[in-house]
Structure 1
Amino acid sequence: MTRLRKLLATSTALVVGGMAHGAEIEVTHWWTSGGEAAAVAEFAKAFNEKTDHTWVDGAIAGGSGAANPVISNRILGGEPMGATMMNTGRDSEEMVDEGLMLDITDVVEASGILDVESAPGLFENCKFDGKYYCVVVNIHSWQWMWTSRKAFEDAGVEPPTNWDEFVAAAPALEAAGKIPLAMGQQSWQSSGAFGVLQVGLGGVDHWLSVYRDRDMAAIEGDEMRRIIEAFAEARTLAAGSTVQDWNQATNMVITDQAGAQIMGDWAQGEFSVAGEVAGQDYDCLPGLGFFDVLSTGGDSFYFPVNDDPEVTAAQKELAALLISPEVQVAFNLKKGSLPVRNDVDLEAANDCMKKGLEILKAGNIMPDGEQMNDPDTEGQLEDLWVEFWFDHSITAEDAHERFIDIMARAE
């Protein structure tokens, strides 16, 4: 019996004494772009082929902002799905506290994942009051900028190696009819880009001083003001980008209409589907080329409590499967994210993924913002940066004052 089969058999036996009963498990998620769809198909394929159960896909378009209210309302309203994706962080705390999520401590401990985590303490994000309620399926980091080699070649300048070189090349890009910075109109894209600029220009220590330590000197200081001014410059460089979805903005880089995009490593899935080759057609700059660092955000799956023991058994089989070595490799190669296990073979990874693996191996990691701030603070910050991005009448000084006020009240 393989290691995976042992894990699956163990998780099932814990509930119903052995055999699976062919349950249908609806799985909700917001992976709807080309690269995302290819990745989640690997999960569905493995579940359908390696168990006696059936994956029922519940994709919700529009990203986490659109999906989270639907997911929460269904669970809180007594119409739970079998499994649901949520961001790795604090989004699920209320539902765990209400006893609405399945305790899968037995599955997590039986899997051995706690001994081979790619990032130390990764599964602590699933732990509440000493028990595990989710499985983390990948490590996604926002800390990337993606650039089109041909766009810079057409502009007669060298591809940038950092943010400052990119800004310096922007006039040449515009003269060549290119949009310097691709950005979609969804709110989370611009607010996420601010976080990348904050780390890339201010460094991890400054970021931690702001969000972990709530150091008002750092929050109020000149470094924070400089970062916000850079964000104002970024919104000017993206003024010609009018697409809506993040993957449409990625496509602008893929098709060489834009010079660059600030976006998390899930963008790699779109480059892969388009047949683009890292290091030849496009380049990737972690930490905007200044800091080789990754945040340890990503995606996790929770399993709402169900009264049917057959469904509970299937939920636990799915949980074990999602973090098994074979499935971790198949999924993350398509998703562009990094695996949660450090004992898997990723020789097939492209240059950018290998760069991420090296950063991870070196231990150059930082928490994700969603792991540091409660949902209310995250929402206020997103509102601020979105409003600032779209309303050019708001000055960097005004935005800084509002940022200070939010962080002074943050819990």
Structure 2
Amino acid sequence: MKKIALGLTAVALSLAATTSQAGQVEVLHWWTSGGEAAAIDVLKQEMKEQGDTWKDFAVAGGGGESAMTVLKSRAIAGNPPSAAQIKGPTIQEWGDLGFLENIDDVAKAGHWDKLLPPVVSKIMKYDGHYVAVPVNVHRVNWLWANPEVFRKAGASIPTTWDQFFVAADKIKKAGYIPLAHGGQAWQDATLFEAIALSEGTDFYKAAFVDLKDDALKGPKMVDALTKFKKMRQYVDPGFSGRDWNVATSMVINGKAAMQIMGDWAKGEFTAAGKRPGVDYVCLPAPGTSGQFTFNIDSLAMFKVSGKDTQKAQRDLARLVMEPKFQEVFNLKKGSIPVRLGMPRDKFDACADSSMDAFNAASATGDLVPSMAHGMAVNSMIQGAMFDVITNFFNSDSMTPEQAADKLARSVKAASM
């Protein structure tokens, strides 16, 4: 695995464990949209009730790219935060660099090995030791739809991509935007990933987990890229640079019919007072009903000095895994609890469906990590994929075959 290109020196590493204000935990995150902000406020309040001080270090940007840039700068300067929102293989990269704190004592006291699915606990560990705490589980392959727009357009909500294109044409003809989308690299990858997933779980794993060359440039990839490029005609001209939650608001307000986005979008519907099954519909992305691409938010713990600060850091890790936080946070965030055995009575139909799908996909082998959200590959390979996917989506001349070949070559170069 390629390490994070930080240019870290031995001096910077030795400065990593800096002294912070007593009893204070500084948390770097990008939970800044309406639904996300309401969710993280739950944790802030619980920390306050513990007698700890929360120092918010929020960096806007739904995909976290800006936050990671800031984190790298802070790390190089020898002043990392107490905890940072980090996901997937990137946790291992920071572990390799020696920045992360062993929190096995908290995990053992909380029985995390019993309360977490093995696929989750493995991600939270570095060299066999817990260094991060999982916050939730998101399903990425969701379709969000405004049923009123569909009614006005005389269209049916699609369950296959062929049906999607038929419905999108009707919606566009009726004067609505078929697909709410934000032209940012991670959003392009989220849309493309959902299309690629519909080509089959085995293909998805071969291409985005095992990085097999024949899958990356093969016929199924070409087919996925062809469908992906066709989506370009169903987004509005102002999509470039749009944040994901702004795109979600277009569906909420009836300007657009659909959005392909993870279930953090539901937090926006909830914050707007909308009801699932009435004001909006949640369905698996077309062609992916039995599959589940997961994105697990987690807080990685960085090495800090001072007993009070270390206690606050461990309070944070403990509280995240407790039932109260798991319930309230996920109700607001739109995700589902990562802790097993949680009661479902307060969760809505979309969350209930997500929990069922998570359990079923775990049993069938259709539970797969999201490439678009940093769960499947390291940051170097992900960045290489993002570049090809976004360039292809916005190119007038690149063919799907050329894009597939470029994708395979870019992944190979990033893996060296």
Instruction: Give the TM-score taking structure 2 as reference length.
Output: 0.89
The alpha carbon displacement at 1:22 in A equals: 6.5
**Aligned mates of 1:123, 1:232 — CA distance in 2:** 37
The alpha carbon displacement at 1:162 in A equals: 3.3
Answer yes or no: is the 8 Å Cα contact 2:29–2:57 preserved in 1: yes
Answer yes or no: is the 8 Å Cα contact 2:139–2:354 preserved in 1: no
**Aligned mates of 2:119, 2:168 — CA distance in 1:** 40
**Residue 262 of structure 1 aligns with which residue?**
260
* RMSD (Å) for aligned C-alpha atoms: 1.8
Answer yes or no: is the 8 Å Cα contact 1:294–1:365 preserved in 2: yes
**Residue 353 of structure 1 aligns with which residue?**
351
The alpha carbon displacement at 1:241 in A equals: 4.7
In structure 2, what residue type is equivalent to 1:98?
Answer: L
In structure 2, what residue type is equivalent to 1:343?
Answer: G
The alpha carbon displacement at 1:239 in A equals: 4.0
SS at 1:261's partner residue?
strand
Q: Pick one of 361, 364, 367 that aligns with 1:365.
A: 367
In structure 2, relative to structure 1, the CA distance for the partners of 1:99 and 1:218 (3 Å cut) is closer
1:401 aligns with 2:405: yes
The alpha carbon displacement at 1:76 in A equals: 2.8
The alpha carbon displacement at 1:163 in A equals: 2.9
How far does the alpha carbon of each residue in 1:264-289 deviate from its partner, in whole angstroms, 9 at most, with x for none? 11000001011111111211222424
**Residue 9 of structure 1 aligns with which residue?**
none
**Aligned mates of 1:195, 1:38 — CA distance in 2:** 28
> Which segments of 5 or more consecutive residues in structure 2 lack a partner in the other structure?
1-20
| Structure 2 counterparts to residues 239-254 of structure 1, below 5 A | 239-242=236-239, 244-254=242-252
**Residue 52 of structure 1 aligns with which residue?**
51
**Residue 227 of structure 2 aligns with which residue?**
230
1:374 aligns with 2:387: no
**Residue 65 of structure 2 aligns with which residue?**
65
The alpha carbon displacement at 1:314 in A equals: 1.1
Q: Could you tell which deviates more after superposition, 282-291 or 218-227?
A: 282-291
> Which segments of 5 or more consecutive residues in structure 1 lack a partner in the other structure?
1-20
The alpha carbon displacement at 1:392 in A equals: 2.8
| Structure 2 counterparts to residues 144-293 of structure 1, below 5 A | 144-199=142-197, 201-242=198-239, 244-293=242-291
Q: Could you tell which deviates more after superposition, 66-75 or 209-218?
A: 209-218
The alpha carbon displacement at 1:410 in A equals: 5.1
How far does the alpha carbon of each residue in 1:372-401 deviate from its partner, in whole angstroms, 9 at most, with x for none? 322111000001111112223322222112
Identity rate, percent = 34
The alpha carbon displacement at 1:132 in A equals: 1.2
SS at 1:205's partner residue?
helix
The alpha carbon displacement at 1:347 in A equals: 1.2
**Residue 384 of structure 1 aligns with which residue?**
388
Q: Could you tell which deviates more after superposition, 225-234 or 156-165?
A: 156-165
The alpha carbon displacement at 1:333 in A equals: 0.6
How far does the alpha carbon of each residue in 1:245-300 deviate from its partner, in whole angstroms, 9 at most, with x for none? 10010011111111111111100000101111111121122242443222232211
**Aligned mates of 1:238, 1:347 — CA distance in 2:** 37
**Aligned mates of 2:324, 2:304 — CA distance in 1:** 28
**Aligned mates of 2:180, 2:392 — CA distance in 1:** 17
In structure 2, what residue type is equivalent to 1:381?
Answer: M
In structure 2, relative to structure 1, the CA distance for the partners of 1:382 and 1:267 (3 Å cut) is same
**Residue 29 of structure 1 aligns with which residue?**
29
SS at 1:91's partner residue?
helix
Instruction: Give the TM-score taking structure 1 as reference length.
Output: 0.90
**Aligned mates of 1:217, 1:80 — CA distance in 2:** 41
How far does the alpha carbon of each residue in 1:303-356 deviate from its partner, in whole angstroms, 9 at most, with x for none? 211121210111011101111111100101100111111121221111111110
SS at 2:356's partner residue?
helix
Number of corresponding residues: 387
In structure 2, relative to structure 1, the CA distance for the partners of 1:211 and 1:171 (3 Å cut) is closer
**Residue 42 of structure 1 aligns with which residue?**
42
**Aligned mates of 1:83, 1:235 — CA distance in 2:** 38
The alpha carbon displacement at 1:102 in A equals: 1.1
In structure 1, what residue type is equivalent to 2:214?
Answer: A
In structure 2, relative to structure 1, the CA distance for the partners of 1:77 and 1:299 (3 Å cut) is same
In structure 1, what residue type is equivalent to 2:281?
Answer: D
**Residue 304 of structure 2 aligns with which residue?**
306
